[in-house]
Structure 1
Amino acid sequence: MAGKEENIFDVAVVGAGPAGMIAAGRAGELGAKVILLEKNKKPGRKLILTGKGRGNLANAEFNLNKLVENYGKNGKFLFHSFSVFGPGKVIDFFEKLGAKTKIERGKRVFPASDKAEDILKALIKYLLKGRVKIAYNSEVTGIECRKNRIQKLILKDKEIFAKKYIFCTGGKSYPLTGSTGDGFKWAEDLGHKIEELSPALVPLKIKESWAWELQGLGLKNVEVSAWQNNKKQGSAFGECLFTHFGLSGPIILDISRKIGELLKNGKVKIAIDLKPALGLVKLDERLKRDFQKYRNKSFKNSLNDLLPRGLISIVVKMSKLNPEKKGNSVTKEERHRLAKILKNLEMTAEGLLGFDSAIVTKGGVSLKEIDSRTMKSKIIDNLYFAGEIIDVDGPTGGFNLQLCWSTGFLAGESAAKEK
């Protein structure tokens, strides 16, 4: 009997990612007896990869209406969790736990140390303060449910009993970190609808081989747009990177959410505006100046001030101009042709990379079956959800971690307080 007593808790949280750690910590802080189950040998494996290891932990968009807009049509579901534990409170939370923060371009919030490990250390400190029992190498292999209530979780070597259960099992992205989509199957088995899963914030495969040849070339301050049926369907401004398969970088990851939807309906063209700050007239004036400056140089050597070297040969080839033509003999019509290419470097989207390369998962447990004020299931009386398992995702820039902190905090609080 004593053995069983050890495995009885007020709250059992499954998954020691960002949402799971903060949910368990909050429930513990409110006095609940909590266990946090993690199938890996350590917590937060995906967390320490965020922001290229620097830990982009939130976005300092303090206007809740604007914050919610970043999550698309499902964003309004998050309004209550953001009002309970929004960006300002997240920043204060980590500061109080010793992880000083700073705000960078795009309102991105990072640890002052530039180390994601400092965020993880703060969370572990929070778990210890709440006396949360953390069980590593503890994979859930089964769930017993009766009369719309979970009775117990079955592990390889034991069973865990709790009054409330919180699933924070993440998505299917980066499966090497342990994020293999287990929670989706459990939720479905328990009667929940899972909205279609697809990789989100993921690099893009490009059809044209010239794009692959530019592997390693990064572009800053460009605009990438997606087109279908000659209509602009979405765009993003910032940095992108050519790779051996196509395109990556922050703005590609952001626009990939839209491209994934468009590809279901047919062909998608990608256009890069290399000079978004200049209209065609201003760009033509700039080209005219450069060709005058390098009037005795060949056309191909007159673009060094305007473009990265690796891109020049591609642009020259697309313009169909003689690369050896002298700068002072380039005609107005030829300048216009070149300007149009610089404003619209076009290629074809062939597809997205898979879950292995995705930062987050699009889709998840249907929001219609979760109470947004508590994160409680509307189907199972003692079950809550938080984090990437639910059907909401945001762009890069700290928005997806903000979602995890807010829904996790609310789920932990609700599970501890509700009778």
Structure 2
Amino acid sequence: MKEKVAVIGGGPAGIIAAGFASSRNKEVKLFEKNNKLGKKLFITGKGRCNITNNADVETFLDNVTTNKDFLYSALYSYTNRDILALLNKCGLKTKVERGGRIFPVSDKSSDIIKAFEKFLIEKNVDIILNKEVNKVSHRDGFFTLTFKDSSSENFDKVIIATGGKSYPITGSTGDGYKFAKDLGHSTIALKPGLVPCETKEKWVRDLQGLTLKNISISAYIGNKKTYENFGEMLFTHFGLTGPIILTMSNIINKHVSAKEEIILYIDLKPALSFEKLDNRILKDFDKYNNKQIKNGLKDLLPQKLIPIILRLSNINESQYINQITKEERIRLIENIKKLKLNFLKFRPIEEAIITSGGISTLEINPSTMESKLVKGLFFAGEVIDVDSLTGGYNLQNAYSTGYLAGINC
């Protein structure tokens, strides 16, 4: 008689876990409370879904920000090459873009879901949609799943792959943490990971929608530089977002409860030293000598940003360039090279791309994803206290941990 395995959660971790568990001659039921699989995948990468990255395994590990050592075995056991081979075999064509990010050629996340569904069907997984698990209990070597409709079913083994608590509209409402707690596991405090931040400055509202490319940002906690990166960011009505801001959030969110203030500095012209920027501005001043200063910086800065920089530099925007003093010019350069923003807080976890925190890795075997506390209980994906930076790295964590759970259950 086949062992019965329940996989809770139809995201990438649950799909991979279910498929590989079934390939080991198990009777596998995949429970998803939504009306379709991979609902969160549909919205990732602006609907395109950054499947994984083209990097080597060591680079994947370098991009892990929480519990890197725990993921070592998983990432080496099931690599980006493995997931791409699986998806390609199921009919998905992929392409590599900037930063090694891998997307479907069609730019449609729905095509990834179709490939995963084909994989599950080929592996004879019983896919049960619109079925919400309310409770998981363990007694006499069996697991009992109690559902929202009050029905229940017994299983030999259970894989919890319910995701985190970000994007609750996709079904990631933290169910797995409750199941784990009821079974004796502990959870590391949940925080938003890869999330925009709010600033104390109100002038950011005037810049809403402005994207800055090829800039650098630094974050200081106390007097210590905690983060520095180069790339693209976007102003919002509440603060900042964009690739380098999301990455920053996953680095400094470990410090947001600290008493020290967090100060952000944006270098709008990182390719130019203070002296070279001064020379550049002098040339522009010479070119627009008889114009007002607000019209003399249009070759250097985005139009929306000019009045803000002038205000922070204590320069009247109607002042003529030929009246600008050296001291005023220096203040202008200082604000271009070191635009200061006072960090207020991160946006709520519901707006985060991933959840930082989760089931303690100390209670999970990193080689199998099996619980060290309850035999036959496994975890996979974002529900575990592991997270990485943007670029397809977090989804690979899901595939890799799902694989280990599947082949070991």
SS state at 1:261 partner: coil
* Conserved 8 A contact 2:163-2:383: yes
Q: CA deviation at 1:270?
A: 1.4
Taking only aligned residues, the RMSD between alpha carbons, in angstroms, comes to 1.6
Partner of 1:153: 145
**Partner SS, residue 357 of structure 2:** strand
Matched residue, 1:193: 186
CA deviations on 1:15-47 (whole Å, 9 max, x unpaired) are: 001100111112223332210001111111111
Instruction: Give SS of 1:308's match.
Output: coil
- Distance of 1:66 and 1:259 partners within structure 2: 20
Matched residues in 1 for 2:45 and 2:24: separation?
31
Structure-2 separation of matches of 1:87 and 1:195 = 28
Write the deviation string for residues 93-121 of structure 1: whole angstroms up to 9, x where unpaired: 22221111111111111111111111111
> Partner residue of 2:341?
347
Amino acid aligned to 1:65: E
Q: After TM superposition, give the deviation of residue 292 of structure 1 in Å.
A: 1.7
Bigger Cα displacement from structure 2, 173-182 vs 221-230? 221-230
Equivalent in the alignment of 2:93: 100
SS at match of 1:362: strand
Distance 2:407 2:342 in 1: 47
* Distance in 2, Cα, partners of 1:97 & 1:282: 54
Q: CA deviation at 1:73?
A: 4.7
Q: Any residues of structure 2 matched to 1:82-93 within 5 Å, and which? A: 82-93=75-86
Match of 2:71 among 74, 78, 84: 78
Q: Alpha-carbon deviation of 1:206?
A: 1.1
Q: Does 1:320 align with 2:314?
A: yes
Range 229-238 or range 383-392, more displaced: 229-238
Whether the 8 Å CA contact 1:9–1:161 is kept in 2: the answer is no
Residue 367 of structure 2 aligns with which residue? 373
Cα distance in 2 for residues equivalent to 1:96 and 1:290? 57
Cα distance, 1:379 vs. partner? Answer: 0.6
* Residue pair 2:66, 2:385 contacting (<8 A) in 1 also: no
The alpha carbon displacement at 1:209 in A equals 0.7
5 Å-filtered alignment, 1:187-336, equals: 187-266=180-259, 267-336=261-330
Q: Hey, what does 2:58 align to over in structure 1?
A: 65
Runs (5+) with no aligned partner, structure 2: none
Counterpart secondary structure, 1:106: helix
Which is further off, 72-81 or 322-331?
Answer: 322-331
Contact 1:260–1:351, Cα closer than 8 Å, also in 2:
no
> Residue 150 of structure 1: CA displacement?
4.2
Give the CA deviation at 1:329: 4.4
* Alignment check: 8 A CA contact 1:201 1:396 kept: yes
- What count of residue pairs does the alignment treat as equivalent? 407
Q: Which amino acid aligns with 1:158?
A: S
Do the aligned partners of residues 389 and 352 (structure 1) sit closer, same or farther apart at CA in structure 2, a change above 3 Å counting? same
**Which amino acid is 2:130 matched to?**
N
C-alpha contact (below 8 Å) 1:150/1:383 kept by paired residues? no
CA deviation map 1:37-59 (0-9, x unaligned):
01111111111111111111111
Q: State the Cα distance separating 1:231 from its structure 2 match.
A: 2.2
Matched, 1:132 2:125: yes
Contact 1:57 1:109 in 2 (8 A): yes
Residue aligned with 1:126, SS: helix
Residue 310 of structure 1 aligns to a residue whose secondary structure is coil
Q: Percent identity?
A: 47
Check the 8 A contact 2:358/2:385 in 1, yes or no.
yes
Report the Cα distance in structure 2 between the residues aligned to 1:161 and 1:262, rounded to whole angstroms: 43
Q: TM-score, normalised by structure 2?
A: 0.95
Q: Distance in 1 between matches of 2:362 and 2:255?
A: 25
8 Å contact kept, 2:66–2:387: no
SS at match of 1:31: coil
Pair 1:114-2:107 in alignment: yes
DSSP 3-state at the match of 2:283: helix
* Correspondence 1:184 to 2:148: no
Residues 230-270 of structure 1 show CA distances to partners (whole Å, capped at 9, x for unaligned) of 22111232211111111111211111123322221132111
Q: Who is 1:30 aligned against?
A: 24
| CA deviations over 1:357-388 (Å, ceiling 9, x no partner) | 11111111111111111111111100110000
What amino acid maps onto 2:96 in structure 1? I
1:363 maps to 357
